[in-house]
Structure 1
Amino acid sequence: MAICRARTWLVRSFSSLPFNRLRVCVVGSGPAGFYSAEKMLKAHQGAEVDIVDRLPTPFGLVRSGVAPDHPETKIVMNQFSRVAQNERCSFFGNVSVGSSVSLSELRQMYHVVVLAYGAESDRVLGIPGEDLTGVHSAREFVWWYNGHPDCTNLTPDLKRTDTAVILGQGNVALDVARILLRPTAELATTDIASHALAALEESSIRKVYLVGRRGPVQAACTAKELREVLGIKDLYIQIQEIDLLKTTADEEELKNSRIQRRVYELLSKAAISGPSYPSSGQRELHFVFFRKPDRFLDSGDRSGQVAGVRFEKTALKDVGSGKQIAVGAGEFEDLECGLVLKSIGYKSIPVDGLPFDHQKGIVPNVRGRVLNDTSGDLTHLEEGLYVCGWLKRGPTGIIATNLYCAEETIASISEDLEKGALASASTFPKPGREGLLHLLDSRGAKVIPFGAWEKIDSEEKRLGSLKNKPREKFTTREELLKIATE
């Protein structure tokens, strides 16, 4: 009886619209997914949009990627919530494309499928020792401190070492460095996961090295992120002044990029404004340039624990078009550490039936239209299949970048509808939402609608208020599903 009541409640939670609606399914509920849904609802008043996500919670990297001490960035969740509450939109949480439902089945049920599930894996270096204990991807670490269910059990060891090496100097690398070095009293009033806060409170890490292959002119971070990490209380900053020397090619790069100029100015100022040596017990942040990892060093005690990184010094080589790449100089040096976080890029993963360019790590597409090969030829289109976000362009840009990305994809869909390149809703009606609900119900799937997420949201905020936090996140699927379905 309880199961029957739950299924009835589930069906009623999703609005039922006329059968001849344009049926659109968006896979992924991060910024790319929600912007796509929002643009679709505005562009096509007759469209019904369903957003599918493998997690019980919506918002993707806004919830699990944005640093806990950046609450202003998360305000966009309010806008996304209004999209989900639109009577022509529904959220299907805890539905995984590939296991709960196949891509092929979605394409049969919907006129349009927009894939916007991002990049949920990592690039690899492919060097010796990468599988040693203590070597993690920055993505895993970020998901761990943000309470993502996939990384609740990561348990990075922050107690056995005082030194962490972060490979990369982009915004994610700076986020990770800031979380490791910022006073935990300041993090305690954020929505950081409780297990991460407890580990950071007992952390022995006092030195963090941010290592980049190229120089300060090419640092991949933004001025805002850099200013934030440089502004941590009582933090010793070390930047070698010799690394700040510029070549003619560097000057040309700086001339063409206001962002790079500002980053370089901040690094230059930090290099000369601080003390020459750290005081006793002071936490340290070292910017290391012109180094590329050659191998990870084993502790040698059969524990399989990382004990350091061997770096090769690099020099910049001009390859034209104002671009310089790092090439090995044949000189090596070792840096001892007990924790390594690789911030070298996210990687998308294909699902069955999806064309994929493994070299570029994206779905081959032209302005969001999916192609069945990498030729770029529009005669090779996959009808009704589109892509947006990192899956479309690679893991670059900020949250707002997905807004423009979604506009382009939805414009392509509109063009295809106008010229008859897509099956129309009136001529070829499809089951859409009702068909998906029926299929998932037949497979016993526990679907989490947006109303159930709002119960999770409300309870997280209630528990957070007891600790002077914005929210206290539930970090396992079991907890999330329990709260959602009670």
Structure 2
Amino acid sequence: MTEQTVPAPTPVRPLRVAIVGAGPAGIYAADALMKSGTEVAIDLFERMPAPFGLIRYGVAPDHPRIKGIITALHKVLDKDQVRLFGNIDYGSDITLSDLRRFYDAVIFSTGANADRALDIPGIDLDGSYGAADFVSWYDGHPDVPRTWPLDAEKVAVLGVGNVALDVARVLAKTGDELLPTEIPPNVYDGLRENRAREVHVFGRRGPAQAKFTPLELRELDHSPTIEVIVDPSDIDYDAGSEAARRHSKQVDMVANTLQDWAIRDVGDRPHKLFLHFFESPHEILGADGRVVGLRTERTELDGTGNVRGTGVFNEWAVQAVYRAVGYLSENVVALPFDDQAGTVPNEAGRVLADEDADGADRYLPATYVTGWIKRGPVGLIGHTKGDANETVACLLEDRPTLPGATEPELSAIVDFLETKGVPFTTWDGWYRLDAHERSLGEPEGRERVKVVEREDMLRASEPHKV
């Protein structure tokens, strides 16, 4: 009898997943994958030399509580199943077809960092700015100019969300108030010369429709240099507004805060921050190509919480206008894109490709989205956890039918980047950059001073040599 040799079982390798974008959405997706019970090996690709996306480059520097989310994100990136490849530009340094060679699935979490357009006359005048551009400047983004024009004494901010509050608060504060934060020297120098003494925030609807969160709204009043002013005539509610207050504790808290401010006496703090409601931006006024004013149409509630125009117009003498009417995601190379919604068409995170002849949806193979590129730039940072869980659940459900990577070895992507000569930063590199920024702040008693220049970030991170 001939003895038969039983072949050794093929070893089961980890599921290889690439995540494009190392902000909160991408990191939450990595966390959801690791908590799924599936053996995974995850690589995050980030365009910036440093991770954390919106937390590092989209949150105002005087919001350390929100920046504390980085502590939780750190714990995820510290896991052995995760690697970070920073300073990698998707679309040029690496493509979707490249990623499919090395990974079983790709999740895009590229976020939203552009300003949504506002189609009113005068929007292109000198002195008309997008809030996202200003936020990038004061947060020390390496890819934006190092200076910002702050010569306007009266400024308008269009929008009633938290970004509008951040912009208004930074414009109204002094440079010295913000110096204890992580702002880099060029931002401090700019804010120290800021001439703004009046900041006017405009909302098209009423107090019950404002998108502020209660804590961020109340923080406006904490500055010793900012007097927050609300016109009593702007405190108005219809049946729809009252219903909104009953059904949402946050809406009611915001309304109560605004009511309290409307009935108090105006104090003598040097910078005035006005919160205006029922004023719909109609036109930015200009002279010699520059902003000289803003025209708004007075609105009124229609009973449902919505508003209608009254035909009454007001003009405000301002020399700069910032629109904070929403962020917009940018088109992702090789993926379909809905220009109107600013999202990648998807179903529960699966990227939609086109339609079959019978009308049934089809999906791009092994390609997923999460975060703002999936659902649009709405909600708070924590809301991206639900997005990540839904997307990861779909990915794991699809696992038996995934095409599979042709080069799944962990070293394959490193070899590829080395061959292309792309210098990339790593998670260890972030620790080095982090230590460097903290050392810059230490002599001044600050937690850190943010490094702005990309080359300086790379030098401190000691990128992978290629």
Give the partner amino acid of 1:113: V
Give the partner amino acid of 1:479: D
**d(CA) in 1 for partners of 2:351, 2:344:** 7
Shift of 1:74: 1.6
**d(CA) in 1 for partners of 2:341, 2:353:** 15
Give the partner amino acid of 1:292: S
Q: Does 1:77 align with 2:70?
A: yes
Aligned pair partner of 1:354 in 335, 343, 347: 335
- Give the corresponding residue for 1:371: 352
- Contact kept, 8 Å, 1:308 with 1:337, in 2: the verdict is yes
Which deviates further from its counterpart, 441-450 or 115-124?
Answer: 441-450
- Give the corresponding residue for 2:193: 202
- Give the corresponding residue for 1:402: 384
- Give the corresponding residue for 1:42: 35
Name structure 2 gaps, 5 residues minimum: 1-10
Distance 1:445 1:225, change over 3 A: same
Aligned pair partner of 1:436 in 402, 409, 413: 413
Which deviates further from its counterpart, 281-290 or 161-170?
Answer: 281-290
- Give the corresponding residue for 2:7: none
- Contact kept, 8 Å, 1:104 with 1:353, in 2: the verdict is no
Name structure 1 gaps, 5 residues minimum: 1-17
Give the partner amino acid of 1:63: R
- Give the corresponding residue for 1:139: 132
Shift of 1:373: 4.3
Scaled by the length of structure 1, the TM-score of the pair is 0.88
Q: SS of 1:284's equivalent?
A: strand
**d(CA) in 2 for partners of 1:378, 1:233:** 60
**d(CA) in 1 for partners of 2:362, 2:166:** 41
- After superposition, the C-alpha distances for 1:149-200 in whole angstroms (9 at most, x for unaligned) are 12243x3221x32111100011111111111223433311111222122221
Correspondence list, 1:337-486, <5 A: 337-373=318-354, 379-417=361-399, 420-423=400-403, 429-431=406-408, 433-485=410-462
- Give the corresponding residue for 1:62: 55
Which deviates further from its counterpart, 56-65 or 366-375?
Answer: 366-375
- After superposition, the C-alpha distances for 1:339-388 in whole angstroms (9 at most, x for unaligned) are 2111000001122210112221111112111111499x874122211111
- Contact kept, 8 Å, 2:112 with 2:373, in 1: the verdict is yes
Q: Which 4+ runs in 1 deviate beyond 4 A? A: none
Shift of 1:443: 1.9
Give the partner amino acid of 2:353: N
- Give the corresponding residue for 1:295: 283
Give the partner amino acid of 2:148: P
Scaled by the length of structure 2, the TM-score of the pair is 0.91
- Give the corresponding residue for 2:180: 189
Shift of 1:234: 4.6
Shift of 1:481: 1.6
Q: SS of 1:50's equivalent?
A: strand
- Give the corresponding residue for 1:310: 295
**d(CA) in 2 for partners of 1:269, 1:39:** 43
Q: Does 1:113 align with 2:94?
A: no
Q: Does 1:270 align with 2:261?
A: yes
Identity of aligned residues (%): 37
- Give the corresponding residue for 2:3: none
- Give the corresponding residue for 2:157: 166
Give the partner amino acid of 1:295: E
- Contact kept, 8 Å, 1:230 with 1:270, in 2: the verdict is no
**d(CA) in 2 for partners of 1:431, 1:96:** 21
- Contact kept, 8 Å, 2:355 with 2:362, in 1: the verdict is no
- Contact kept, 8 Å, 2:198 with 2:271, in 1: the verdict is yes
Shift of 1:244: 0.8
> Cα RMSD between the aligned structures?
2.1
Q: SS of 1:220's equivalent?
A: coil
**d(CA) in 2 for partners of 1:413, 1:93:** 24
- Contact kept, 8 Å, 2:355 with 2:361, in 1: the verdict is no
Distance 1:27 1:378, change over 3 A: farther
Which deviates further from its counterpart, 112-121 or 239-248?
Answer: 239-248
